[in-house]
Amino acid sequence: MTKTSIFVTGATGYIGGSVLTRLLAHPNASSFEITALVRTQEKAKLLEEFGVKTLLGSHSDIDKLEEVASKSNVVFAMANADDLGAAKAILSGFKKRYETTGEIPILLHTSGTGVLSDRADGLYATETVYSDLNISQIESLAPTQPHRDVDLVVVEAGRQGYVRTHIILPSTIYGLATGPLFDKGISNRHSVQVPALIKASWDRSQGGMVGEGKNLWPDVEIHEVADLYMILFDRATSDPTTPNGREGFYFGESGEYLMYDVCKAIAKALVEVGRGKSEEPTTFTQEDLNKYFGGSAYLGSNSRCRAERSRSIGWKPVKTTKDMILSIKPEIDELIRSGRISEKALPGRDQYY
């Protein structure tokens, strides 16, 4: 039996590790040949123990990416939503595959609802709500929006017809990732935005927020994000009419939070662990924004959406914003337990969208 060759990027990461975990447990796993792009020999060795082939390299290895994509039926791109060169290399490999075999391969590309973000600076909630079923609304987004340059190249490849493209746009993912890849220290257990807020708040010994925290963002739990990838993978590989190309946008959203509420929960939890001064979050100064967020007020933006297309293919997330708020204290406890925040060591993230 011919195996389905699957290439994954970001396997040592939060999303990628969660999706790879699910691929390894998939009912058809024995018919998959999975190759993961890995940046270190040490992690490559550990991953191989799970029956995963590895390609040692990075997004800068354009030739390797092109070559492996040209041999893949499916690619899960989950490393960096903003790396145009890597996306182009994968698409170029797929084009070669199509031209030599006539097969139309499948791309599941990771973007994010940061593409919908505005510049509210934490001062107001927008009324604008995007739907992943409303393609003309998505097409009205400026090409300068976060992730959008890469998304546009992906959609254009889908339009040309040599690949079926599906773009998954998770929102604020929360919760600790679980499974053997995380237990073995191969993949990263933590998300981006909430840990970034925790990191900043921990360092200044006080929960903080951008502006007044009046902005809104969608949220989604990590295991339910992995569900979405799996449902889409199953659909795309069994039914070529699964929305793709221009229509192939899938938001990851199962609730919406007010930034103030998250910042308040962080402030409260920091008081509980003896680190925070007050349960009331205070506004990040410009100095704070420079120190922790590269000068950006991004975490004061709005990003509002409804994952209607994702639900239309059978995705049924059940977690709510209440679960997100409840996840904050365990997240802080785990960051402390694992030594990722302490007096000396702060979690080393420089990207938070």
Looking at this protein, which amino acid is placed at residue 92? Answer: S
Contact positions with ligand NAP (CB under 6 A) in 17-76: 37, 39, 58-59
68 or 192: whose CB is closer to ligand NAP?
A: 192
Cβ at position 265, least distance to ligand NAP in Å:
17
The binding track of 133-172 with respect to ligand NAP, each residue x by CB under 6 A or -, is: -------------------------------------x-x
Structure tokens at 190: 């933590």
Q: How far apart are CA 253 and CA 172, in angstroms?
A: 8
Contact 226, 26 (CB under 8 A): no
Q: Pick the stretch among 78-86, 115-123, 154-162, 261-269 that binds ligand NAP (CB under 6 A).
A: 78-86
Residue 251 interacts with ligand NAP (CB under 6 A)? no
Cβ at position 113, least distance to ligand NAP in Å:
7
In DSSP notation, 304-342 reads -EE-HHHHHTT------HHHHHHHHHHHHHHHHHTTSSS
Looking at this protein, which amino acid is placed at residue 190? Answer: H
Q: Phi and psi for 350 in degrees, rounded to 5?
A: -120, 0
Structure tokens at 254: 């199962």
Residue 10 interacts with ligand NAP (CB under 6 A)? yes
Cβ at position 13, least distance to ligand NAP in Å:
2
Residues contacting residue 154 through CB under 8 Å, at least 6 positions apart: 87, 91, 107, 109, 165, 167
Q: Is 188 left (phi over 0), alpha (psi -120 to 50) or beta?
A: beta
Residue 81 interacts with ligand NAP (CB under 6 A)? yes
Residue 16 interacts with ligand NAP (CB under 6 A)? yes
Q: How far apart are CA 44 and CA 41, in angstroms?
A: 5
Cβ at position 326, least distance to ligand NAP in Å:
17
Cβ at position 149, least distance to ligand NAP in Å:
13
Cβ at position 153, least distance to ligand NAP in Å:
15
Residue 181 interacts with ligand NAP (CB under 6 A)? no
Query: What residue ranges bind ligand NAP (CB under 6 A)?
Result: 9-16, 37, 39, 58-59, 78-81, 110, 112, 170, 172-173, 188, 191-193, 351, 353
